[in-house]
Structure 1
C-alpha cells in the first residue's frame, strides 16, 4: 500500500500561526530599550558623537564656522556648496545611525561605511585647506581641524567594536 503523504498535513500551533501572519520586521523600540544591552563605552561614545554633532550643528546654524572653513577664506561658491553637501551627508548619517539602533540591527557594516566616508571628508578637507592656506601659516587651526575630524572616525571604530561586544 502506498502512503499518501498529502493526507498527513502537519498542523501549526496558534503561536506559530500568529508569528507567520503578523511579522514584526520593522518594530521600533525606544532609545532606552535599544541601548539596554549595549556597553557603557558604546553609550558614552554615542553620546560624544551626538554632542559633537549637535555642537557642530549649532555653530553651523549661527554662522560661527564660516570663518573657519575653506569657503570662509576663498569666498568661492563651490567651497560653500561642498560644505553644505558634507553637512547634509553627516546629518543623514547620524539620523540613520539612530534609526538603525532603534531597529536593533547590527551596526558593524553601517559604521564601517561611516568611517570610510568620514575618512574621505578628513583627507579631502585637509587637502583643500592646504590649497587655501598655501602655505599653512596657522598650524594650530589645521591641527584642531584634523583632530576633530579624526575623533569622529575614531568614534565610529569604537562604536563598531563595542557593538560587537554588546548583547541585544
Structure 2
C-alpha cells in the first residue's frame, strides 16, 4: 500500500492519513513445521557429530500486501530474523537430534545475538568475528502471494577462509 495523499481537511495541517497495514500470509518456516519424531535412545558413537561450514545472516523480512510502488513508501510488516544457509542447515540437523557445530564468519555488529540464537537451537557456534565487515544481511521482500525477492549484502560471510580453520573443529565430528 503506498503512502496516502494528505487528507487536507480542516485542521489537518497537511499530514498524511494513517493507514493500517493489511495482513499478508506468512511464509512457512522451520517454526511452522511439526516437531520431528524423537530420535532413538542410542548412545552417540565417537565422531558422530556434524560440522557445518557456512554462512550466518541477519534476515530483514518485509511482507507487503500491495505491489511495490517505485518512488514512494509501501506499507509492510518488517521483522529481523536469524538466517543463512549454513545456520539453517545446522539448526535443522540439531532439531532432528544431531550434535552440530557451525563454523561461520560474522561481524561484531550481531555476533552475540546470532551466537545466542544458535545455542538455543542446540548448535555449537564457532563464530569468527570480522573486525572489518558486518554480518551478512538479506532483505527479503515477500508479496501477498508469498513470492520472495531478495537483496543481499554478503558482508563478513564471504571472508571465511583457511585462517578461520583450526584442527579442533573436527574433534568429535564424523561428518562435514
Which interval holds the TM-score relative to the shorter structure?
Answer: under 0.3
- Structure in which a larger fraction of residues adopt strand: 2
- Structure in which a larger fraction of residues adopt helix: 1
Q: Which has the higher contact order (CA 8 A, sep 6+)?
A: 1
Please say which structure displays the higher CA radius of gyration. 1
Q: TM-score, normalised by structure 2?
A: 0.27
Q: TM-score, normalised by structure 1?
A: 0.28
